[in-house]
Copies of this chain bind each other. A is one copy, B any other.
């Protein structure tokens, strides 16, 4: 069965060990295209979570960043803040990646991690933080949410 390469769906619970390692769900590892050399790029999400990109997807972002002129200060700030927290990680023989303390603190992750497929990327959340953020978004923009559902859900 050939699952769509580099697309991720579903939710998985994992534990972060004392060394800061988490397992990437086997399903996600298998749908990672071979060109990625078993490596992801992890970085800060726009929400307080960790974003995980297939290497090749991240390289597209990098290529776009290279095209931005360095003359503009705002461009430089944007490149810095986009790239700053990103690091490429290859998973070990057990399928785990290492998370930096920086990213762990940013996402408030401690022991339990919720790993969620977001189609073209993966998110790693602390369960309680996710609940809070989602609840807040829905409270603020529930009508917008419904419009989206109306447009997209079959």
- Chain A residues within 8 Å of B, Cβ to Cβ: 1-4, 7, 9-11, 27, 37, 39, 41, 46-47, 53, 57, 59-62, 64-66, 68, 70-71, 73-88, 90, 102, 116-121, 123, 133-134, 137-138, 140-141, 144-145, 148-149, 151-154
A75: B residues at CB distance < 8 A: 148
Q: Compute how far the CA of A133 lies from the CA of B87 in the bound complex, rounded to whole angstroms.
A: 23
Shortest A73–chain B CB gap in Å is 5
Q: Are A78 and B120 in contact (CB under 8 A)?
A: no
Provide the bound-state CA to CA distance between A145 and B76, in Å.
10
Contacts of A65 in B (CB 8 A): 119, 152
Interface centre among A9, A68, A117, A118 (most CB of B within 10 A): A9
